[in-house]
């Protein structure tokens, strides 16, 4: 059974696709950091970098967005023709949200996504069909319908949900998408930077992406969102999923036992049924998953034990990619396998598992070091990056400096300040334990500073100070006993 739960509050939207009682995909969006993917802007080109075939474009947000305008990595006549100029106005759409220090990624290939179709304005006569619609007879049937109803100046891509749909369904959605394009054309001459088209609310985007025949129901706890979903006409009809308004006092996610399961999605270690476990590390460059045998007692055939662990890990790795929205380059370090047959079996199992993912995921294969390479298309930041922020103590590294390192740094800075000769006194603020280590045994470091620089150093305990935090405050007048 598949169910979509929508927990909508004033500032935060949490949407979860449940499969057999377990969370499979999570949408998380706050008003303060709303996703820009799908939004269309009139942007102003700030600067062009021909060596990268890229331009940085002001779309009215904090960071300039990145537009790759080339078709190939080598310069060509076509590239020079497509190259924008600084100060030029360009019509662009956001492909990927900003991540870390990188701005959003843009494209000039505008598209409008529906439940069954993606409209490609200006792509005359192009008809693409999802590879997940595998039967050739079905592909030919769909192509025949679209050739009859698609305007000649536009193209279209059929999504996986388009399988089995008949002409009236395609015609109705195509009309809606064309209406969006016509509205956009009326706004494209606005002065840049300007937002021309905003993608729907998170609930409407999720409903569109999760809409499929095998989703049984959508449950939403917000009446306004419920009414907007009803207006789409996509619910409660024959062959459509049910839409339910949740009004109980118990929070929606608590009622469906989702909260505790979502907390596990943030844990670094994920246990397998066999007793093994995955360790998942997200970095700026890639995601790494390490497979360990864990609690397996080692009895019986070692190779069978390793094969069983790796097969479970392959299934779980694919599930975690969807649940945590892990994307980009993903490296999986399976337990070393001796037999080539086992390696092929694990690879095949992973390929079958990621085929369930609606986001394009490619299993590249094993490296010579036995590391499995996977790529998954980036659209939004991972779940962890969406709901967390950098630690001010460790600067996002996940580690903090040792007390010895911090004390040594404090003492170096103290010497630098006092050596200038313009500071007769210094106030040192910090946690009690850090100050005790800084002062040295019986205050030996403080006495040394007094004798060497003829300056006073006074400790000021800061209750509740974060680990490693300190502040050195210069004093204009000497602090201490008057001579």
Nearest to 303 by CA among 349, 275, 343, 272: 343
Other C-beta atoms within 10 Å of 443: how many? 14
The answer to whether the CB of 78 falls within 8 A of the CB of 135 is no
276 and 375 fall within a common domain: yes
297 and 357 fall within a common domain: yes
- Give 3-state DSSP helix, strand, coil % of the chain, rounded to 5: 30, 25, 40
Contacts of 407 by beta carbon, 8 Å cutoff, 6+ apart: 434, 437, 438
Domain that holds residue 415: 403-475
pLDDT of amino acid 473: 92
Give the C-alpha separation, 352 to 142, whole Å: 25
271 and 378 fall within a common domain: yes
Domain-embedded: residue 395: no
Q: φ, ψ for residue 360 (rounded to 5)?
A: -60, 120
CA 405, 411, 412, 414 torsion-angle sign: positive
- Domain count of the fold of the chain: 5
382 and 270 fall within a common domain: yes
Domain C-terminal end among 180, 197, 214? 197
pLDDT of amino acid 463: 87
Other C-beta atoms within 10 Å of 195: how many? 15
The CA R_g of the chain, rounded to the nearest whole Å, is 29
Give the C-alpha separation, 334 to 324, whole Å: 20
pLDDT tens per residue across all 483 residues of the chain: 899 999 988 778 889 999 988 999 998 887 767 788 889 999 999 999 988 889 999 999 889 999 998 765 444 455 556 788 999 999 999 998 887 778 899 999 999 988 899 999 988 889 999 988 889 999 999 999 999 999 999 999 999 888 888 999 899 999 999 998 988 877 767 888 999 988 767 888 888 888 776 788 999 999 999 998 888 878 877 778 899 999 988 889 988 988 888 888 888 999 998 889 999 999 888 999 999 987 765 556 788 889 999 999 999 999 999 999 999 999 999 999 989 999 999 999 999 999 989 889 999 999 888 899 999 998 788 888 887 777 777 766 677 788 888 998 999 899 888 888 778 889 999 999 999 999 999 999 999 999 988 889 999 999 888 888 999 998 875 544 443
User: Widest CA span of the chain, in angstroms?
Assistant: 100
Question: What angle do helix axes 432-439 and 403-419 make, rounded to 10 degrees?
Answer: 60
Indicate the length of the chain as a whole number.
483
| Alpha-helical runs (H) found in 83-135 | none
C-alpha dist (Å) from residue 239 to 116, 216, 242 = 15, 10, 9
pLDDT of amino acid 481: 44
243 and 274 fall within a common domain: no
CA 51, 54, 58, 60 torsion-angle sign: negative
136 and 220 fall within a common domain: no
The answer to whether the CB of 257 falls within 8 A of the CB of 250 is no
Domain-embedded: residue 480: no
298 and 348 fall within a common domain: yes
115 and 166 fall within a common domain: yes
Contacts of 225 by beta carbon, 8 Å cutoff, 6+ apart: 6, 8, 201, 203
The answer to whether the CB of 79 falls within 8 A of the CB of 68 is no
Whether pTM > 0.85 for this model: the answer is no
């Amino acid at each position: 059974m598949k169910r979509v739960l929508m927990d909508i509050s004033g500032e935060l939207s949490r949407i979860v696709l449940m499969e057999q009682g377990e969370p499979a995909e999570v949408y998380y969006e706050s008003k303060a950091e709303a996703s820009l993917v799908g939004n269309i802007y009139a942007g102003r080109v700030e600067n062009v970098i021909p060596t990268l075939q890229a331009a940085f474009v002001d779309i009215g947000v904090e960071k300039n967005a990145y537009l790759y305008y080339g078709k190939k990595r080598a310069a060509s006549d076509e590239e020079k023709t497509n190259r924008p100029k600084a100060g030029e106005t360009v019509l662009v759409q956001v492909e990927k949200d900003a991540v870390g220090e990188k701005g959003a990624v843009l494209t000039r290939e505008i598209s409008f996504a529906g439940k069954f179709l993606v409209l490609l304005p200006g792509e005359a006569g192009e008809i693409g069909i999802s590879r997940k619609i595998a039967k050739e007879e079905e592909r030919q049937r769909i192509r025949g319908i679209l050739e009859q109803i698609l305007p000649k100046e536009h193209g279209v891509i059929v999504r996986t949900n388009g399988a089995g749909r008949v002409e009236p369904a395609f015609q109705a959605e195509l009309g809606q998408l064309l209406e969006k394009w016509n509205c956009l054309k009326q706004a494209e001459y606005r002065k840049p930077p300007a937002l021309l088209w905003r993608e729907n609310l998170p609930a409407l985007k999720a409903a569109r992406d999760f809409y499929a025949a095998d989703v049984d129901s959508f449950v939403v706890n917000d009446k306004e969102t419920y009414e907007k979903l009803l207006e789409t006409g996509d619910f409660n009809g024959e062959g459509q999923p049910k839409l339910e308004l949740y009004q109980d006092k118990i929070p929606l996610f608590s009622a469906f036992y989702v909260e505790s399961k979502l907390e596990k999605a943030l844990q670094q270690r994920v246990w397998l049924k066999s007793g093994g476990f995955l360790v998942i590390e997200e970095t700026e460059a890639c995601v790494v998953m390490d497979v360990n045998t864990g609690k397996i007692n080692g009895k019986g055939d070692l190779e069978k034990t390793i094969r069983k662990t790796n097969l479970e890990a392959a299934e779980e790795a694919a599930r975690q990619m969807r649940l945590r929205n892990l994307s980009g380059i993903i490296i999986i370090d399976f337990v070393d396998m001796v037999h080539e047959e086992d390696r092929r079996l694990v690879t095949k199992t992973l390929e079958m598992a990621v085929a369930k993912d609606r986001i394009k995921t490619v299993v590249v294969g094993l490296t010579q070091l036995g590391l499995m390479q996977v790529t998954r298309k980036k659209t939004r930041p991972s779940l962890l990056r969406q709901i967390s922020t950098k630690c001010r103590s460790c600067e996002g590294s996940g580690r903090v400096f040792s007390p010895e390192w911090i004390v040594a740094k404090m003492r170096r800075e103290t010497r630098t300040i006092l050596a200038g000769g313009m500071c007769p006194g210094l106030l040192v603020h910090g946690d009690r334990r850090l100050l005790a280590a800084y002062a040295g045994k019986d205050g030996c470091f403080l006495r040394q500073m007094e004798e060497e620089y003829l300056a006073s150093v006074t400790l000021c305990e800061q209750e509740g100070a974060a680990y490693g935090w300190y502040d050195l405050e210069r004093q204009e007048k000497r602090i201490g006993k008057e001579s």
